[in-house]
Amino acid sequence: METSTITARYPVSERRFYTGMAIAIFLAVFVGFSRSFFLRPLFPDHPSPSEPIFYIHGALFTLWILLFALQVTLISRGSVHLHRNVGLLGMLLAIAMVVLGIMGALYAAARPTGFVGIPVPGLSFMAIPFFDMILFSGFVTMAYLERRNTQSHKRWMVLATLNLVTAAIARWPVINSLGPLAYFAITDLFVVALAIWDFKSRKKLHRVTLVGGLLLFISHPLRLVVSGTAAWLSFAAWATGFVK
């Protein structure tokens, strides 16, 4: 009875949208990191990080994407209690991801060749994953604070996960050579899809989509501006000194 009642709260169209979003995010990540991580044995000559920390980093971030898909599935089936229990593990995972995300950015930027597969100087590009971790932390925190507000919670979690997708898009074949503006533009299309869903289901933008989406949009050009400043390059050179 409880399961059927809970499931009834979430229309089939809503379950399909979030399931589709989870699948799209997973595919985006898989395509981006297939040659350097997921299918590494099939592409032995493809550039890949040599430091062991990146395999832990990749495993944790992959676990987050899979956890996101699992959480969408649990809610679509009405398993709210299990969803909440798994969510607690997700919060611990998020903390570990932020730590590994920052450490990974420092190690990559410290290399003479910079980030693997990214045709942008390492110290400059380091601004992008740093912003990723700041926004990811903020979005996940908001998702936790609004965990009782289902519609807000869902959107914060979607935005937190979308914020991570840019790293994978930056490594898509062809797109890789187009530079950060192209990476961000494709990420923004996912946010546009969320906005379209809002208008279709609510006839207006949800507060979280508006606020979180704007933060994500504004952060993109801001990262590029910051990454080229003397202050940022000085900070990046100082910070990478801890991992050299």
In this predicted model, what pLDDT tens digit does every residue of 41-100 receive, in sequence order?
A: 899 888 888 888 899 998 999 999 999 889 988 887 888 889 888 988 999 999 999 999
Query: For position 46, what pLDDT does the model report?
Result: 86
Exposure string over 198-225, b if 16+ CB within 10 A, otherwise e? beeeeeeebebbeebbebbeebbeebbe
Tens digits of residue pLDDT in 97-115: 999 999 999 999 999 888 9
Count other Cβ atoms within 10 Å, centred on residue 19: 15
Residue 128 has pLDDT above 60, yes or no: yes
Provide the number of structural domains found in the chain: 1
pLDDT band at 9 (very low <50, low <70, confident <90, very high): low
- Give this prediction's pTM: 0.89
Q: Compute the mean pLDDT over every residue in the chain, rounded to the nearest whole number.
A: 90
The residue range of the domain holding 35 is 2-240
Q: How far apart are CA 186 and CA 229, in angstroms?
A: 25
Asked if residues 209 and 155 have their Cβ atoms less than 8 Å apart, the reply is yes
Check whether 158 has a pLDDT greater than 60.
yes
pLDDT bucket at 1, cuts 50 / 70 / 90: very low
**Position 10 confidence tier, pLDDT thresholds 50, 70, 90:** low
